[in-house]
Structure formats: C-alpha cells, structure tokens
Structure 1
Amino acid sequence: MGRRKNHPASQREEKQNEATPPQVNEVEDNGEGEEEKEAESVPKEEEMPDAANLVSSLTQNPFRKRRYFFIFGVSLGVLIMLFLGGPPTEMARVVRENQFLQEYVASLSVPRSLSSVREQLSSIMPEGSTAIFGAGEADALPGERLAEKGLTRKHPVILVPGIVSTGLEIWKGDPCARRYFRQRIWGTMTMVQQFLLDTKCWLKHISLDPETGLDPPSVRVRAAQGFEAADYVIGGYWVWAKLIENLAAADYGPNSMHMASYDWRLSFENLEVRDRYFSRLRWQVEHLHKVNHEKVVFVCHSMGTNVYHYFSQWVTRDNPKWIDKHVAAMVNIAGPLLGLPKATASMYSGETQELRELGTLGLAMQQYMNQTMRIGFFRDLGSVASMLPRGGDRVWSADRYMYPDGRRRCGEGEDPDDAAEEGKPPCLEPSLPGDGNFSKVFLFEDGDEEFGAPDAHMGVDEALAEILRGQRKKNKRHWLVQKYANWYSHGIATDEREMRKRRDKRGAWTNIMESPLPHAPNMKIFCIYGVNRPTERQYYYKAHSATGQHHVNTSVKGAYVRGGIGYSDGDGSVPLISLGAPCSYFWRRKVWNPSGVKVVIREILDDPDYFSDVGRQGPRSGDHVDVMGNHAMIEDVIRVAAGRFNLQDRVFSGIGEITQNLEEALESPA
C-alpha cells in the first residue's frame, strides 16, 4: 500500500505560541530523516488449515506439525497480549480432545529465555523466510544509516516498556506450576504450553490478590530482567527488538542502555512497595550517568510513559533538582497520559474491541473466563486502574467530534454529497443516538431500568463512579474500595495553589493534570505517536436477559460505530486526546510545566504495509504496537540519544482543535 497523498488532516496549519497548538513543521536535519520504501518482496504467507483438518495435517507431516503449532501459539499469545484478555482458541479445544496433541504439547522443549527463540523459530520456518524477523539483510537499518552520518551514542538510554510487554516468571507457585520454575508465565511459548494444558493453574498464577493487589498467597511471579524481558513476546512477535537492534547499530550496548522492566500488573504504588522498582530505577539512572559522563535519555512506550511520570514525581519529592541533574530528555512513544476509555470498559463489562471481534474464539473464551471472571480479573490489576481516564468530562469532551481518515460530522443542513462535490473533507451523518459524539463513553439501551441500569448515557465521571459503586456492593474489602482514593486521582488542578495542595498525595502522581513536570529547565520531551487509525472511544450496552449484566451490544452500527463500539481518531489503542493533549496543551502551560521544559510533537500518519512483515504493518505504521518498528520513530529516538535535540513539531491530526476545546473548557467554571 502506498503512502497517502493530500490527506485532509495533513493540510491543517497550526499557529504555535504559548496559548495555541503546535505548528505543522517537518524537521530539517539535512535529509537524515527521509524514509525509504522497501523494495524487497516477501514470500506469500502460507494459508492456514481450518480447525476441522488440523489434527490430520499435524500427524501427517512433522514439519507442518511444528510450524502450525508455532503459528497457533503466536496467534493465541498476540490475542491475549492485545489487552490482557487471555482467550483460549480453537487450538485449546483441539488439544484437550486429542491425546496425541496433549502429549505433543507436554513434550515441547520450551526455551528458558528468549535468547534461543530466534534459533528455535528459524528451525521451523520455511527456508529463505525472513519476514517474521523483519526486513531482509539487504535493507539497511535506520540506525546504520544514521551512524554513517555521524549520529552515534552520546546519552545513555533507559527503556521503559508498556503494559503486557514485559515477560513474567514463576518463582514460587502451586504444585501445578512447579515444572515452570523461573520460566515465563507470560511472554513466551511457555505461556502457551501452560495455558493449553492447565488453564485454571495459569489463571491463578497470572492473577493478583483482590484485597492487596499483590501476589496471591503461595505465589511469587516477578518481571523478567534484561533486554530479553521485552524484546519479543511469544517468540517472533517483536516489541522492543527493532529499536534495540537499531540502537546497537548506533554504538549502544549493555553499558549504555538498560531495559527497566517491571511487573505490569501492579499499581504504581505496589511497584515500589513490593519490588522497590523506583528505588532501583533511580540507582540505575545515576549509575549510567556516572559511567557514561552524560545525562540519561528515557525512551518510554505506552504505559511506560505513565510509569516514568510517576517516577519523576517520586524521585523529586525529596530532591527537586534530581531530574534536571540526571535526565537530558524523555521520549514518549504512544503514551496514554490521560488514560483510556477501554480501561473503563474492561473494568465495567470485561470487554474491549479485541475480545468482541474474536467471534467463535470469544465464545470459547467463556469456557474458562465468563464475564464475571473477566471483570474481576481486570479490576484486580492495579495497572488497568492506572489507565482509567483522567480529567473527567471537562477534558474528555474536547475530542467529541474527532474522527480518523479526515472525516467530520455533517453540519446542520449539510448534505454529504454536496461536501464531496465542493472538495471539502467528507462528512457523515449520525444514524443513532450518540453516534459520533464522544462526550459520552457509555450508552445504554432503553428499557434496562428493570435490571438496575444507570442513566441512559454516561461520561467518564459517571462511568468511573458506577464501577466503584458496583465494586463496593460486591466486595467492600477489595483494594478498589479500600485503597483507590489513596493510589489514584482523576481531577485537574488549574493553578499553582491547587498543585501545591496535591504535591504530597501519591494518587496525584498518576495524573499529569495534578502533578506538574519537575523542575528541569534543561530537559526536553519528545512525543511520538501514530494517528489516523480508528480507536475505540465509546460503548453501547444492553442488559443480558437472564443475568442483568451489561455487555456490548454488537448489533449496533452507525456512521462512527461498529459492533457496538464508537471509534475516534488515535493509534488504534489510544485516542488522540490522550496521545496528544498532554504535549500540545498541558505541558505547554506554565501551571503544568513551571520550569519551561521544551516539548516537541512528532506525529506519525499511519501508512500500513501489510506485506513487509508477516502479521505486522510495516516500517511506516502508526499502530500502537507496530510504531515500535516505525523507521521515522527509530530515527527520532537515535537523534535524541545522539544529542540532536533540534527536532520540530510535525502534526497531521486535529490535535489543534482539541487544544482549543480544552482551553475553552478549562477557562469555564467547573
């Protein structure tokens, strides 16, 4: 697929000053940032067998047996990884019902670390196939190209992964898990093996105690360490691998680069309580600074950016100038700093887009995790609560009419056909209540009152309140009831006096609108994220006729709604407002950035190429995960690490409109 040309969003011009959104501007760096089209063709992916013929195909050909188990394993793991779901696939059913496959899965030789994964995968892939590892050898790495131009190692780098991308290891568990001591319960083929053979055992060890938010009694699961902790998950599904490889090409290594892996299930508070994560991270930064004689650059992906912000508040509580002394820059890659509507949906109904669109696999999932179990699982994880939307309706109404693909809502009396003829961006007319108006995150079908349903429409404030009310009714000893108010905060401070009142409240550290950037006038922040991908933003619910529990009504369709879910602009996982508003609005205002840290936006217009890397979307993708292999992103990271901070704003989306809406909303009385 070629690059989009003349995209309506790319033609917007923004005025740049303290009170206005960033200017559309391409970096001028002597052509070093130019992207190259990949010319090498990739072998066509072999067609998968359907489930009915799976067993016979496995038993007839040993090579096909190993290859198809690998492909099914990758598929299972990736679906789970998409949002903590853990759905069993048709493969699980086949394994349980077939003695041969049970013996085969039990006899699998599972690597104890990811260092041997590439060798294992190479032995089962067709000769000449390189797609699963990325581009072929003929394609120069972005890091190699920049190194040839003199952009090499300067600042040491700390890598902070996002949710679900760090491997988790079993250090202590029930008898059913003893054979997996120090092996991955999350992130490798070991996970697939455990899941297929004993789903109940796997679920017990991956879950957290509902009262403490920590390990259940008799269980000890800890984050894997080193670069292997987050370079690949489920073998060939890369997350950090491409960036690590390119940094290595720019002369980075273990003495100048560190993977700050962590247990992504925990609340930020419990990361320090149980693992002393922030204490160890502070020591690591100071160590790299001392050894390399240069300040550190943080490179954070997804929830890793939220973790970094919490750390910056924690570390400067007793030493306000620590960040300025030790940190040169922070690169925020697709960070959901204002939270995620999908976190709200997962805690309310146990559903997100990925689970609803699994079809028969979604039905199979209920064999092990019905709706009640899924809701409980998500609510037990402190990390999911860490990504609930912040700022309330005042903030989350600012993107109410923000859509992907340059679409817009038709004005009153405007005909969509007339707009097209006049050369205007296309517009769509709403076809049902709330369609295309994202000021409400939950919309309930009429007639649900008999099941005790809440109001017909809910913004993020009401949705959060409903989740907490429901948990209080269910279990008053749950940590959501006992500790939520101390661990989290969702308000907004609009002046210095309000900020000072919140300074020592740890819950405020999870919210960038209640905890300003630390004093670091010499530091830089670079926000890199994809745009122009449909991203779930609101949910249409109906009550189950028997239980009264609400679930997404998949029959609802509209101009901006598919399968009961409304979609706004974003990177496929995080809405644009959460990706861009911290960098375009909040951190460009003195109350949230008192020392004037320079903030630069580097948007990536999604341009997928589904043939460059099997199962992935190519080096120009803006997808939330695949952006980690985006060449423009990699080049920006290497420039920053090399001390080239002269990048300029690059904007394709409607973040300027969101910024203006926020300015108007936050100047009005609450």
Structure 2
Amino acid sequence: MMLCHVSNLNRHLQTRDQTLSRIKSNIELLVATNGGNRAVVIPHSMGVLYFLHFMKWVEAPSPMGGGGGPDWCAKHIKAVANIGGPFLGVPKAVAGLFSSEAKDVAVARAIAPEMLDSDFLGLQTLRHLMRMTRTWDSTMSMLPKGGETIWGGLDWSPEDGFECKSKKRKTNDSEVSKDVHGEPVEVNPEPVNFGRMVSFGKDVAEAPASNIEQIEFRDAVKGNNLAHSNTSCRDVWTEYQELGWGGIKAVSDYKAFTAGSIIDLFNFVAPRMMQRGSVHFSYGIADNLDDPKYGHYKYWSNPLETKLPNAPKMEIFSMYGVGIPTERAYVYKLSPQAECYIPFQIDASAEGGDENSCLKGGVYMSNGDETVPVLSSGYMCAKAWRGKTRFNPSGSKTYVREYNHSPPSNLLEGRGTQSGAHVDIMGNFALMEDIIRIAAGATGEEIGGDQVYSDIFKWSEKIKLKL
C-alpha cells in the first residue's frame, strides 16, 4: 500500500478515508462470511506503517477516524503478520531525499563518473528524480523515527560491535593476522559509528566524537550567491538553489548528523517539503501517550507515538530477512558546482580497510534485508511491544520471525526459495509456511515462537526507551 502526495489537504484526507473505509469493510465482510473467525492481515513493507495507521483510525470516532470503537481490532483481527516492516524508518530514505542517491547510485557513479556527473544525463536525471520523490509524502513516512534514543549518537549505536563478515566479534576483540615474516600480529577491528547517519568525510565518520567540532547550522544565514544561479533553478521541490553557498557550507561544517539532527537538517535544506510532510507524519517519541494531541492522525504511523489497539488476543509478528548488507549510514562530500545542481553527494571513494569492512562506496552497511535494517524491523516486537508496555497496554503477544538469507543455488530457483531480500522474501518457502499456518489457526507459540539469527535482542537492550 502506498499513498502519494496530493496538493489539496482536504482531497488527501478524503482519499485516505475512502481507502481506509474499504479496508475496514473488507475485513468486516471477511469475518462475517467465515463464521466469525477473525482475520489475519499480512502487510508488507510500507504497508506495515499504513496498517499501523489503520488500527488507530478504525478505533477513532468520526470524522477523524472510522468510528469502529476501542474493541474493533479485538473483534476482527486474529493476527497481523508484518513482512519486512520499516517500523522505525530506513536510513535509505535520508539519502534519497537528501541527494537522490542510495548505494546503487553511488556504485554506478564510481564505475562511470562521466555519466552520472555529466550535466546532460546524470545530473538532470538526479534532479528530476528529486523533484519527483520530494512530492511523494509517503517517502517522508520512511524517515528514521525515535532520534538518537533508537539509532544512536555520535559515539554509540545499538549495533556497536557488529562487523560485516560471517563471524562477528565484540568491539574489544582483536583479529590475529600475520606480518611479512609470517609472525602473528594483532589487528584491531575497524571502528564503525553507525550513529553518525550522515558524515561529511571519511575522517569525520571514523574520528572519536570528542574530535568532531560541529558548527551550528540551524540558524545559519542562507545566500543566493551560487555560481550559475538563475531563476530557472528555483524549484519548489528541490529548494537547493535557495540555500546559497552560505547554507551549503553551514551543512557541511556541522560535519556529522545523527538521527536526532536529521529532521532539523531537512527543515533547513527543504523547509517547504517538511512543512507539507509534517501535516501527515511525526518522528519523535511520546512522553505521555495519553496526551490528547496523539489523537491526531499524523502520529498514527509512528509506533513510538501511538498505542497498539486494546486487543489482548491479537498477535503481532515481525517477519523479515536478515544476513544481507543493508544501508545504515553515509559518507558525503560537496558536489562539483554546476547549473541547478544538487550540492551534496555520497562519496563513493570512501572505502573501508579490507573486504570485510562495513564501509563500501561511501555507504556503511549493517544487517538487514537489503532495504530495512534489522533495528527498524525487529525492535518493536523484540522489546517495545513485548509484554505489557505503554506502547502495548493490553499485552498483545509479539513474535520476531527472522529468515536467514540464502541466495538461489541455480537459475531454476528464480529469485530463490530461501531469499531474505526485502521483496524476494515473498517467495520464501519458510515464510509462506508460517503465514499459512497462522492463517489456518496456529498461534505464534505453535509455529515456534521467536526465530532469530541476528543480534536484535542484544541490540534492543542497549536502547534506553521508557517502556
């Protein structure tokens, strides 16, 4: 499910309510025609966020909501089997909105810089892509939620100690190598600061936090003194031409952005985009979920600012792939100036020390399904919703079901029957078996409870969130 931006707010709300009303009617019909047996709902990817929104909408009174009342979900839903759910957002959305890039674009630029850096083909393509994606408010729903509490800061992240190799070691472990004479030498693991979601320069990405001197950007004076500046560049969707050199320099001088400063970054570089998006989405953590303001729909797709329904017998599953390097943080640099250009780009020349490094082509990789990091897919069911918490006051049971990625062994398997990739997991036989058993009436305990290959439970314990 995906909602696209429409310029008129009333029209947007009307479209939203029509879509949600159809979902409500379909579930009610399904239950009514199946002997009162409750439905199993299977959202995938962004649909996970919108079904989370739906469960609040259906409870809420009209006209803000669907008028189903506080027990609607308890009466109609047996289980929600979320597949590849970006509950807490994805760093990939940051790169997409900031520079219209991701790992694939950075790799392509490294292979053929003359194409992507040429004004005729590459730069125009990226500009048009930015104009398009910045009109999709649904993309803004994917920005990381929870700030530094969830994603980490300049000097920590929940995934500290993770290494992009099959055998993981703790942060203080050392690797034994050999020198030219064959004698053993200790090699300390390369530092990975996942909490620095955007760093300007590899040196900043790797430096101790105490060595990073940040110059505040939020109140910096923007200027229009860019070379090649002209009125044709003043596009409401990119907004970059209004930054001027003063604004661009202020961003790069801040050096390192965490999930706590990313939202402020977008408010600075694209204020009109954020003003429009903030009507529909929020990215914080609620101090008091009983505050009446959280009755507004803009909070309903953020699991950190809303409660699960009052449905103690409803089960929630997080089902997602693991074992694939997944975008987690980026090394940036300033772009060469050109007409109407995007001033920031991933530094594809930034590489780690060896083939086991998490840094490849300017992108730091962590564990995930190639699109959504484990942290985003798994944390809510592993910790924040586990048992009775303020986010799950009725104590709906939650389960983490991970599927370890195994690529296809031959061409006859197509995309693979054991794939953990974000889309291809839909053809994963183990996932399909779990879904069929749940739909046939099995509980989470009956299908085996949690199935975990990653360190999601260990990482979740590092997150100090009031539950």
> Given the two structures, how large is their TM-score scaled by the length of structure 1?
0.54
Give the structure 1 partner of residue 285 of structure 2. 492
Give the structure 1 partner of residue 189 of structure 2. 429
The alpha-carbon distance between structure 1 residues 499 and 342, as it changes in their structure 2 partners (threshold 3 A), is: farther
Kindly provide the amino acid, as one letter, of the partner of residue 309 in structure 1: L
Matches within 5 A, 1:434-583: 436-445=192-201, 451-454=249-252, 455-472=254-271, 476=272, 478=273, 480-481=274-275, 483-494=276-287, 497-547=288-338, 549-558=343-352, 559-583=357-381
2:281–2:299 Cα contact (<8 Å) kept = yes
Q: Deviations over 1:92-126 (max 9, x none)?
A: xxxxxxxxxxxxxxxxxxxxxxxxxxxxxxxxxxx
- Larger CA Rg, structure 1 vs 2: 1
CA separation in 2, counterparts of 1:639 and 1:379?
40
Shift of 1:405: 3.9
2:402–2:453 Cα contact (<8 Å) kept = yes
The alpha-carbon distance between structure 1 residues 286 and 620, as it changes in their structure 2 partners (threshold 3 A), is: same
Shift of 1:626: 1.0
Give the structure 2 partner of residue 337 of structure 1. 87
CA separation in 1, counterparts of 2:50 and 2:14?
11
State which of 126, 135, 159 in structure 2 corresponds to 1:380: 135
Q: SS where residue 279 of structure 1 aligns?
A: helix
Matches within 5 A, 1:406-425: 406-408=166-168, 411-412=171-172, 414-417=174-177
Give the structure 2 partner of residue 290 of structure 1. 32
Are 2:73 and 1:317 equivalent residues in the alignment? no
Q: SS where residue 462 of structure 1 aligns?
A: helix
The alpha-carbon distance between structure 1 residues 427 and 524, as it changes in their structure 2 partners (threshold 3 A), is: farther
Shift of 1:605: 1.1
Are 2:441 and 1:643 equivalent residues in the alignment? yes
Give the structure 2 partner of residue 623 of structure 1. 421
How many residue pairs are counted as aligned between the two chains? 388
1:405–1:533 Cα contact (<8 Å) kept = no
1:556–1:563 Cα contact (<8 Å) kept = yes
CA separation in 1, counterparts of 2:187 and 2:316?
35
Kindly provide the amino acid, as one letter, of the partner of residue 304 in structure 1: G
2:173–2:189 Cα contact (<8 Å) kept = no
1:584–1:655 Cα contact (<8 Å) kept = yes
Give the structure 2 partner of residue 223 of structure 1. none
Q: Deviations over 1:243-294 (max 9, x none)?
A: xxxxxxxxxxxxxxxxxxxxxxxxxx93753671001111111111111122
Shift of 1:404: 4.4
CA separation in 2, counterparts of 1:501 and 1:468?
25
CA separation in 2, counterparts of 1:516 and 1:305?
15
The alpha-carbon distance between structure 1 residues 344 and 213, as it changes in their structure 2 partners (threshold 3 A), is: farther
Unmatched runs of 5 consecutive residues or more in structure 2 = 62-68, 179-185, 205-244
CA separation in 2, counterparts of 1:286 and 1:373?
42
State which of 582, 591, 598 in structure 1 corresponds to 2:390: 591
1:410–1:429 Cα contact (<8 Å) kept = no
Shift of 1:585: 0.8
Give the structure 1 partner of residue 144 of structure 2. 389
Kindly provide the amino acid, as one letter, of the partner of residue 486 in structure 1: V
Q: SS where residue 26 of structure 2 aligns?
A: helix
The alpha-carbon distance between structure 1 residues 277 and 271, as it changes in their structure 2 partners (threshold 3 A), is: farther
1:441–1:539 Cα contact (<8 Å) kept = yes
Shift of 1:357: 2.7
2:84–2:318 Cα contact (<8 Å) kept = yes
Matches within 5 A, 1:194-209: none
Q: SS where residue 79 of structure 2 aligns?
A: strand
Q: SS where residue 276 of structure 1 aligns?
A: helix
2:372–2:422 Cα contact (<8 Å) kept = yes
Shift of 1:625: 1.0
Matches within 5 A, 1:86-105: none
CA separation in 1, counterparts of 2:440 and 2:361?
46
> Given the two structures, how large is their TM-score scaled by the length of structure 2?
0.76
The alpha-carbon distance between structure 1 residues 531 and 592, as it changes in their structure 2 partners (threshold 3 A), is: same
The alpha-carbon distance between structure 1 residues 213 and 384, as it changes in their structure 2 partners (threshold 3 A), is: farther
* CA RMSD between the two structures: 3.0
CA separation in 2, counterparts of 1:324 and 1:468?
39
Shift of 1:353: 1.3
Shift of 1:532: 1.3
Unmatched runs of 5 consecutive residues or more in structure 1 = 1-160, 165-206, 215-268, 419-425
Identity %: 30
Q: Deviations over 1:377-415 (max 9, x none)?
A: 221101100111110111112434234444546645834
1:404–1:533 Cα contact (<8 Å) kept = no
Q: SS where residue 518 of structure 1 aligns?
A: coil
Give the structure 1 partner of residue 121 of structure 2. 366
Q: Deviations over 1:7-27 (max 9, x none)?
A: xxxxxxxxxxxxxxxxxxxxx
The alpha-carbon distance between structure 1 residues 208 and 383, as it changes in their structure 2 partners (threshold 3 A), is: closer
CA separation in 2, counterparts of 1:213 and 1:490?
20
Kindly provide the amino acid, as one letter, of the partner of residue 299 in structure 2: A
Shift of 1:429: 2.3
Kindly provide the amino acid, as one letter, of the partner of residue 195 in structure 2: S
1:342–1:537 Cα contact (<8 Å) kept = yes
Q: Deviations over 1:283-335 (max 9, x none)?
A: 11111111112211101111111111000010011311110011111101110
Give the structure 2 partner of residue 19 of structure 1. none
Shift of 1:208: 5.5
Q: Deviations over 1:601-655 (max 9, x none)?
A: 1111111124144762x11111111110000000000000000112211111100
The alpha-carbon distance between structure 1 residues 637 and 428, as it changes in their structure 2 partners (threshold 3 A), is: farther
The alpha-carbon distance between structure 1 residues 403 and 520, as it changes in their structure 2 partners (threshold 3 A), is: farther
Shift of 1:504: 0.9
Shift of 1:484: 2.9
CA separation in 1, counterparts of 2:328 and 2:255?
17
CA separation in 1, counterparts of 2:192 and 2:137?
31
Give the structure 2 partner of residue 70 of structure 1. none
CA separation in 2, counterparts of 1:355 and 1:270?
32
1:403–1:569 Cα contact (<8 Å) kept = no
CA separation in 1, counterparts of 2:323 and 2:173?
27
Kindly provide the amino acid, as one letter, of the partner of residue 315 in structure 1: V
